[in-house]
Amino acid sequence: MKVIKSLFLSVIVISLASCNSNGVSNKPLKSEIDSVSYALGMDMGLKIKSNFENVNEELYFQGLKNGIDSTNLKFNANEVTKIVNTYFQKLQQEKRKQQQEEAAKIAAEKFADVKAEGEKFLEENKSKAGVITTESGLQYIVMKEGSGEKPVATSKVKVHYHGTLIDGTVFDSSVDKGTPAEFGVNRVIKGWTEGLQLMAVGSKYKFFIPQELGYGSTPRQGGAIRPFDTLIFEVELLDIVKK
């Protein structure tokens, strides 16, 4: 991780400066190596500050001095790496979560009509002949019932499928490509993971997948699926691929 490497490099660089229990002294720059040393330390300090704005400078320099002197060490080398890695991984996760929440909020405002249209479609569709609705909200029609084995979440399956939006727009189709697809049951959207486990090999079902069991507010960029789109798939379970 670049941030962590910078942190450790800064320890080496700052150690070149005059450091005591009261901090770093304000020495004049008398030579080229003085300027280079100061510039490197300043650069690392700015990078640490930009990536770790809550740094406790007193404890930072205490750790630096203890590391140089190899005395009063509170952690061993492995613990240091684990503590720093864990902290910055947590920061990255929090930042990623915040970005996702902000993106979802923007999408909810921009594509509110798409979401409402899908909800209306599913509400009307659930009362049609042959449509079964599960507890999660997944709707399906049995087009052909097979007699083979049913997959589980950890199975790998071979299928043919044809995917459309509620207006009939085709966004993906192994049928049109002429080649079946293979993938893990638990490696796809929630609607597929649930639906596939209802099917026996040889079956063909038609699934109506609510946006919350599909791609929600974050579909693949550049594709035909918009945020909050309801999806329709005709799926034929050809086989369970043996490992």
- b/e string for 91-117 if b means 16 or more Cβ within 10 A? eeeeeeeeeeeeeeeebeeebeebbeb
- For residue 173, what is the domain's CATH number? 3.10.50.40
* Structural domain harbouring 56: 2-74
128-170 per-position pLDDT tens digit: 999 999 999 999 999 999 999 999 999 999 999 999 999 999 9
Tell me the chain's radius of gyration from C-alpha atoms: 29
CB 181 within 8 A of CB 174: yes
CA 207/CA 125 separation, integer angstroms: 11
User: Which residue has better confidence, 67 or 12?
Assistant: 67
Q: What is the pLDDT of residue 183?
A: 96
With 0-12 / 13-18 / 19 or more C-beta atoms within 10 angstroms meaning exposed / middle / buried, residue 193 is middle
Share of the chain above pLDDT 70, in %: 90
CB 159 within 8 A of CB 235: yes
Within a domain: residue 86? no
User: Which residue has better confidence, 2 or 99?
Assistant: 99
Residues 126 and 232 in one domain: yes
pLDDT at 72 over 90: no
CB 223 within 8 A of CB 171: yes
Give the residue numbers annotated as catalytic, written as ranges: 161, 171-172, 189, 215, 233
Residues 118 and 231 in one domain: yes
What are φ and ψ of residue 150, in 5° steps?
A: -95, 140
Terminal-to-terminal C-alpha distance of the chain: 36
DSSP letter, residue 14: H
Within a domain: residue 179? yes
Within a domain: residue 180? yes
Residues 161 and 49 in one domain: no
Among the listed residues 179, 69, 53, 34, the one whose alpha carbon sits nearest the alpha carbon of residue 61: 69
| Sign of the C-alpha dihedral computed for residues 112, 113, 114 and 119 taken in this order | positive
Point out the domain boundary residue: 45, 74, 103. 74
151 DSSP β-pair partners: none
Alpha helices, DSSP H, located in 19-178? 32-51, 57-69, 77-110, 112-125, 174-177
Within a domain: residue 175? yes
Q: Which two tokens stand for residue 19?
A: 């450091």
36 DSSP β-pair partners: none
pLDDT at 10 over 70: no
Residues 233 and 164 in one domain: yes
CA 49/CA 34 separation, integer angstroms: 22
pLDDT at 239 over 90: yes
Residues 148 and 63 in one domain: no
Within a domain: residue 81? no
Within a domain: residue 117? yes
Residues 118 and 225 in one domain: yes
19-47 per-position pLDDT tens digit: 444 445 678 888 998 899 888 878 877 88
pLDDT at 71 over 60: yes
Q: How much is the average pLDDT of 193-222?
A: 96
Highest mean pLDDT among 19-28, 94-103, 105-114, 125-134: 125-134
Share of the chain above pLDDT 90, in %: 59
User: Which residue has better confidence, 12 or 222?
Assistant: 222
Q: How many domains does the chain have?
A: 2
CA 69/CA 59 separation, integer angstroms: 15
pTM above 0.85, yes or no: no
Q: How confident is the model at residue 2 (pLDDT cuts 50, 70, 90)?
A: low
Residues 170 and 69 in one domain: no
